């Protein structure tokens, strides 16, 4: 991939390595990053103000969370949504999602500007077409798309009128017009990207303030940027072949945190640090996720 950029002040975060790091998000109110080790059933919390990482054990597989307010989070788990109390980690069931389907689990998710939570499921063993993508807002759950093998790449344009999502197994990123007030689709989804380096697949993604889409490419060791028209812009190379998901961090959203995974690799050497979590400065501004509408 051409036009590779050197990540500014690239650093490996002082945090445990993840078998399957995913679902990073950033709380700008507390300068704290959150992400998951899906396989390890752990929620990781990094407080930048004192450079401290905390690891919270979970009773189930979970992959994403959203901020409700300064006291609560909405956690996306294998059988649905849970309200998590930040102070003590207490979990309260909120809404079941595919709880009766033992073949599937949670995966990618992100919050639209309307407060809607787009949520993707997938087969535990990536069974073909076993997953779906849902829309949750104000207590109502709607299934948007079925037949998804590995749900990923959920993110939203800065004007809130376009949503993106990916099926990593197909190597395709889709785009769809959405209502900026509700985050619900207003038209049919169409292909946005379908050409990636050999052996690479689109994983987690974010949109910056200019509407460019930044996608972690699993198998390619980078986060690649594309314009809203699908034109390749540049990429940030990382010392982890299995980069999994980016999130904007920092007071001005001018840095990025990227998770990665060691699962499936025979050995993670010093050269390939898959499983580590990375942070680096950006030459452009990102965007923060809004609070979810419960």
Active-site residue, 27 included: no
Pairing mode of beta strands 131-137, 140-148: antiparallel
Cross-sheet strand order for the sheet of 4-5: 4-5, 232-237, 222-226, 213-218, 201-207
Q: Coil, strand, or helix at residue 110? A: strand
Q: What is the chain's length?
A: 294
Rounded to 5 degrees, what angle do the CA atoms 184, 137, 27 make? 110
Tell me which of 27, 167, 203, 272 is the catalytic residue: 203
Separation of alpha carbons 265 and 18, rounded Å: 12
Nearest to 223 by CA among 253, 200, 194: 200
d(CA 226, CA 265): 28
Q: Which of 55, 34, 25, 21 is nearest to 260 (CA)?
A: 21
Single out the residue of 224, 220, 242, 243 nearest to residue 232, CA to CA.
Answer: 224
Q: Return the active site residues.
A: 203
């Amino acid at each position: 991939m051409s036009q590779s950029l050197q990540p500014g002040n690239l650093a490996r975060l002082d945090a445990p390595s993840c078998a399957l790091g995913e679902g990073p998000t950033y709380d700008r109110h507390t300068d704290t990053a959150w992400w998951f080790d899906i396989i390890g059933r752990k929620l990781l919390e990094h407080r930048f103000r004192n450079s401290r990482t905390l690891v919270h054990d979970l009773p189930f597989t979970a992959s994403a969370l959203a901020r409700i307010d300064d006291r609560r989070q909405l956690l996306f788990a294998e059988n649905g949504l849970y309200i998590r109390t930040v102070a003590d980690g207490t979990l309260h069931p909120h809404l079941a999602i595919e709880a009766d389907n033992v073949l599937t689990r949670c995966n990618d998710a992100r919050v639209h500007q309307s407060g809607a939570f787009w949520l993707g499921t997938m087969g535990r063993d990536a069974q073909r077409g076993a997953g779906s993508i849902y829309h949750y807002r104000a207590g109502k759950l709607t299934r948007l798309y079925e037949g998804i093998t590995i749900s990923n790449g959920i993110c939203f344009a800065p004007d809130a009128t376009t949503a993106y999502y990916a099926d990593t197994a197909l190597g395709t990123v889709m785009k769809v017009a959405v209502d900026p007030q509700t985050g619900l689709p207003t038209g049919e989804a169409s292909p946005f990207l379908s050409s990636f380096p050999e052996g690479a697949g689109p994983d987690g993604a974010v949109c910056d303030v200019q509407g460019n889409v930044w996608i972690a490419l699993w198998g390619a060791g980078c986060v690649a940027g594309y314009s809203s028209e699908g034109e390749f812009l540049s990429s940030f190379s990382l010392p982890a072949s299995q980069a999994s998901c980016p999130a904007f961090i920092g007071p001005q959203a001018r840095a990025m945190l990227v998770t990665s995974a060691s699962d499936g690799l025979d050995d993670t050497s010093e050269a390939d640090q898959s499983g580590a979590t990375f942070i680096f400065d950006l030459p452009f501004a990102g965007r923060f996720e809004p609070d979810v509408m419960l």
